[in-house]
Amino acid sequence: MNDSDIALLLADAADEVEIGIAPYQAVLRGGRRRRARRWAVAAATALVLAGSSATLAVAGLPGGDGGGGAVATQPPATGTPRAFEPANRTTLATGTENGKQWRVTLDSWQAPVDTAEARATMNAMRAHGEYPPDVRGASDLVGKIAYFVHLDYGGESKKVMENTVSESDSLTGTDLMSGSLPLEPGNTKDVRLVIGYVAKTAQRVNCVWTNETATVVEKAGSATGTDVPAIRSPQGSPYNWFVCLAPKGAEYKTAEVIE
């Protein structure tokens, strides 16, 4: 077969080929679907990191039945409030006095990130009979941790300390804040119970009593029971906390960080 014969065969073959329109819409739909999948994966990752739950809505793709040029979209975050328990409740100390059990607990509420979450937090607080001080509206609570200390004696419970502080608040070195009160409800004397907080780095607190004796409170180990005075690290609190009780016949005098 010479060159002329080959040319004629190629021409005949070309006459039999039907040239149509390139399948542009099918290619476009496939490309948009792949891109939408990548967006969906990125959105899901962001939602997991944010700790929220939502449904990713994907709009109709162009080129389909009645497609109007819409693109895959992700709805804006709705700011769904986190679920709240009675904060993080930590037992700071327990004991027995005159045949009655006593307990000191701390409720520490995480700082809301926005007003909607602050409203949810305040509603949860109210359900537990806790009201953040110096907070007139939900916006006042944004970015602030609220904590409440309760004393239970013989089954009778009362709130003895409360405050709201910035999420970034902290103590350093030998800083110490404390309060003292009677252990038994209704008693205005025998101020023997001391509740306080210190820097995260504090290792030892000295509680000195009016009889010139002292109770040394050290940082709690993993096996330290609540019936042993100790410096504890409650979850959600910017400080470490301690409780100490004066012996009968003595009252609170001073407390200081000694290490």
Q: What is the pLDDT of residues 245-256, one digit of tens each?
A: 999 999 999 999
Which residues in 175-186 are b (16+ Cβ under 10 Å) and which e? ebebebbbbbee
65 confidence band (pLDDT: 50, 70, 90)? very low
Q: How confident is the model at residue 202 (pLDDT cuts 50, 70, 90)?
A: very high
- pLDDT above 60 for 215: yes
State the Cα–Cα distance between residues 130 and 115, nearest whole angstrom.
Answer: 18
pLDDT exceeds 90 at position 3:
no
Amino acid residing at 53: S
pLDDT of residue 70: 33
Residue at 252: amino acid letter: Y
Q: Return the pLDDT at 189.
A: 84
Average pLDDT across the chain, whole number: 75
Encoded amino acid at 237, one letter:
S
d(CA 84, CA 188): 36
pLDDT of residue 153: 95
**Token pair recorded at residue 246:** 């004066």
Residue type, 71: V
Average pLDDT over residues 74-102: 73
Tell me how many degrees the CA angle 59-62-65 measures, rounded to the nearest 5.
95
pLDDT for position 186: 83
Q: Which amino acid is at 230?
A: A
Query: What is the C-alpha separation between 95 and 79, in angstroms, rounded?
Result: 43
pLDDT digits (tens, 9 = 90+) for 20-32: 444 433 333 333 3
For residues 189 and 250, the answer to whether their CB atoms sit within 8 Å is no
The structure tokens listed for 90 are 């930590």
Q: 106-128, pLDDT tens digit by residue?
A: 999 999 999 999 999 999 999 88
Residue spans per domain, the chain: 1-80, 88-257
Q: Where are the alpha helices (DSSP H) in 51-176?
A: 115-127
Report the DSSP pairing between strands 240-245 and 144-153.
unpaired
Asked if 85 and 125 count as a contact pair (C-beta separation under 8 A), the reply is: no
3-state SS of the chain: helix, strand, coil percent to 5? Answer: 20, 30, 45
Q: Is the pLDDT of residue 75 over 60?
A: no
Give the integer Cα–Cα distance in Å for 36 and 232. 50
Q: What is the pLDDT of residues 6-63, one digit of tens each?
A: 555 555 555 554 444 444 333 333 333 333 323 233 333 232 322 322 222 222 223 3
Residues 6+ apart with CB under 8 A from 212: none
210 close to 250: Cβ distance less than 8 angstroms: yes
Q: Residue 68, exposed/middle/buried by CB under 10 A (0-12, 13-18, 19+)?
A: exposed
Q: What is the pLDDT of residue 61?
A: 27
Whether the pLDDT of residue 105 is over 60: the answer is yes
